């Protein structure tokens, strides 16, 4: 039996069509979940755990969640919450090669003093953790949510140089 999954704005209709086929329904739910947000996906989560060199049990302890939660994130059964994504990025930035000394974001982005002085990354001298701090002034404006912020940070050379 072949199913065609069309990308449309009406994900609910596609889900209803596959409702009689649980395995297809799960795949559609996972696809829908991953395409709606710019959050960490299951493959990125698994890759991050491997980069950290941790077992599921060890990572669960680091993140303060159950082993079942880690397994569910890796299988795509649960969405990866933003606070878990944030912790994973933080842990990944801590294992980088110490010879790479990243420059603060305001140097990389060439922020003028007027913008720098209003930005929490500058205020707290956290130019290497700007992606971690809400309220930073990226692309000349403050992002209201973690999702909006990370859609920019994932493409920024400050975060990518740390991962």
Q: Into how many domains does the chain fold?
A: 3
What is the pLDDT, as a whole number, of residue 18? 46
Cβ contact 132:86 at 8 Å: yes
Domain-located, residue 23: yes
Domain-located, residue 129: yes
Do 28 and 44 reside in the same domain of the chain? no
Expressed as residue numbers, the domain containing 6 is 1-36
If we measure between CA atoms, which residue out of 86, 141, 135, 139 comes closest to residue 110?
Answer: 139
Domain-located, residue 57: yes
What is the pLDDT, as a whole number, of residue 26? 47
Residue appearing with tokens 């209803």: 16
Do 110 and 158 reside in the same domain of the chain? yes
Do 76 and 61 reside in the same domain of the chain? yes
Rounded CA separation 18/78 (Å): 19
> Cα dist. 87→8, 28, 64, 76 in Å?
33, 27, 10, 18
What is the pLDDT, as a whole number, of residue 74? 94
Domain boundary among 95, 116, 136: 95
What pLDDT, in 10s, does the model give residues 18-51? 445 555 444 444 443 333 346 789 999 999 999 9
Q: Check residues 80 and 163 and name the one with the higher pLDDT.
A: 80
Q: What is the pTM of this model?
A: 0.59
What is the pLDDT, as a whole number, of residue 72? 94
Domain-located, residue 52: yes
**Mind giving me the DSSP string for 72-104?**
HHHHTSS---HHHHHHHHHHHHHTS-TT--PPP
What pLDDT, in 10s, does the model give residues 96-108? 655 567 788 888 8
What pLDDT, in 10s, does the model give residues 107-136? 888 889 988 888 888 888 888 888 888 778
Rounded CA separation 68/83 (Å): 17
Provide the pLDDT confidence category of residue 14 given band limits of 50, 70 and 90.
very low
What is the pLDDT, as a whole number, of residue 97? 57
**Residue percentage of the chain with pLDDT more than 70:** 73
């Amino acid at each position: 039996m072949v199913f065609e999954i069309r990308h449309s704005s009406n994900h609910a209709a596609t889900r209803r069509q596959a409702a009689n086929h649980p395995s297809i329904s799960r795949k559609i739910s996972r696809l829908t979940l991953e395409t709606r947000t710019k959050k960490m996906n299951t493959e990125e989560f698994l890759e991050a755990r491997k980069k950290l060199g941790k077992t599921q049990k060890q990572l669960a302890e680091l993140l303060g969640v159950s082993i079942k939660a880690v397994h569910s994130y890796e299988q795509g059964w649960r969405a990866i919450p933003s606070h878990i994504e944030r912790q994973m990025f933080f842990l990944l930035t801590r294992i980088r090669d110490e010879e790479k000394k990243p420059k603060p974001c305001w140097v990389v982005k060439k922020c003028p003093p007027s913008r720098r002085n209003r930005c929490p990354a500058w205020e707290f001298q956290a130019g290497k953790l700007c992606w971690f701090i809400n309220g930073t002034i990226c692309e000349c404006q403050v992002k209201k949510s973690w999702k909006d912020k990370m859609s920019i940070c994932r493409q920024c050379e400050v975060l990518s140089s740390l991962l």
